[in-house]
A and B are shown apart, each in its own frame.
Chain A
Amino acid sequence: MMEVLSMGGYGSFVWSAYGLTIIVLAVCIIGGRMGHTKTINDVRRRIRTMEVKS
């Protein structure tokens, strides 16, 4: 286990690169989903407001 974590003495570099990758991909995935949900809600609210006015 320690051998895997140490990565031949380069553990801090290897794991930080993989950790950063996971964070960036998570930001892309979650950001995209949140943006889509927000747009759907905004457009739906706008349509309902227009229907009430008309």
Chain B
Amino acid sequence: MWKFFHKLASPPHFYQFAGKVVPWFAFTAIACIGYGGYAGLFVAPADYQQGDAFRIIYVHVPAAYLSMMGYSIMAISAGIGLIWRIKLSHAVTAAAAPLGAWFTFLALATGSIWGKPMWGTWWEWGDPRLTSELLLLFLYIGYMALRASIDDIAKADKASAVLALVGAVNVPIIHYSVEWWSSLHQGPTLVREGGPGMVSDMLYPLLAMILGFTFLFGALLLGRVRTEVLFRERRAKWVREMLLDDGGTT
């Protein structure tokens, strides 16, 4: 097991391994999102309070979950990169930031669209979940801006890794904000005492969408890490051999 992870940390091995895994992740994502999207829009019954507006949950919740998951991945890989100085970890951190930012934007935008008919407002500054999620978007943007401002990759890795680690304190705040403070958001629906608070016709499409979005995020992240590895290793012998040997199928 350790041998596998040790080997995976090697850039050429990771590049080849990720290239093989991405299509499987993408296929699983298409299948799950296809089922979840169809069932969520056309099969699940309307909510007794929110009517059909609740169907936004099938894109909002996966996006919100992955906005936090993306930052968690960033913080963990930044920590690994700082402590063990594994080059691949910094590539993962750098690749996760733009994806996390897009999913955070999506969570905020779909939440805002959902909030208008349900709460009567597009945005509420007093809501801790909304403001902490917006702070997460600023953290992603700040991380990318900091990286872009430093030319030396090694220095950029270290400085931005510290920011990624410090910003990680916001992730549990987002998650528990609905329990710690009064919020327009409802409490936990899926993970709570007594089981999920949804009927199976509503629940299964949501689980499929969460799984599908997760696999899609995984495929996109691995693809971006491959690009990052290729750029960082552009002077390496294995990159030269790979790019000059094949006809552009990398």
A2-39 interface code vs B (CB 8 A; 1 in, 0 out)? 00100111110110111011001101110111011001
Q: Which of A17, A25, A40 contacts B250 (CB 8 A)?
A: A40
* Docked-complex contact B248 and A7, CB < 8 angstroms: no
Q: In the assembly, what is the distance between CA of A20 and CA of B250, in Å? A: 31
Main secondary structure of the interface of A (DSSP, over half): helix
Nearest A residue to B217 by beta-carbon distance?
A28
Chain B residues with a Cβ closer than 8 Å to the other chain, count: 39
| Interchain nearest-CB distance for A26 vs B (Å) | 11
Q: Is B46 an interface residue (CB 8 A)?
A: yes
Cβ contacts under 8 Å, A24 to chain B: 102-103, 105-106
Q: How far is the CA of A20 from the CA of B224 in the complex (A)?
A: 22
- Chain A interface residue number, banded: 20 to 34
Give Cα A44–Cα B53 distance, bound, in whole angstroms.
50
Q: Is there contact, CB below 8 Å, between A14 and B52?
A: yes
**Contact between B52 and A8 (Cβ–Cβ < 8 Å)?**
yes
Q: Does B234 lie within 8 Å of A43, measured CB to CB?
A: yes
- A46 interface hit (Cβ, 8 Å): yes
Q: Assess whether A32 is in contact with B114, with CB atoms less than 8 Å apart.
A: no
Contact of A17 among B114, B216, B220 (CB under 8 A): B114
Q: A10-B53, A13-B114, A39-B227 are in contact. List 18 more A-B contacts (CB 8 A).
A: A7-B52, A9-B52, A13-B116, A14-B55, A17-B109, A17-B110, A17-B113, A18-B41, A18-B59, A24-B106, A33-B223, A35-B224, A39-B231, A40-B230, A40-B250, A44-B244, A47-B240, A48-B244
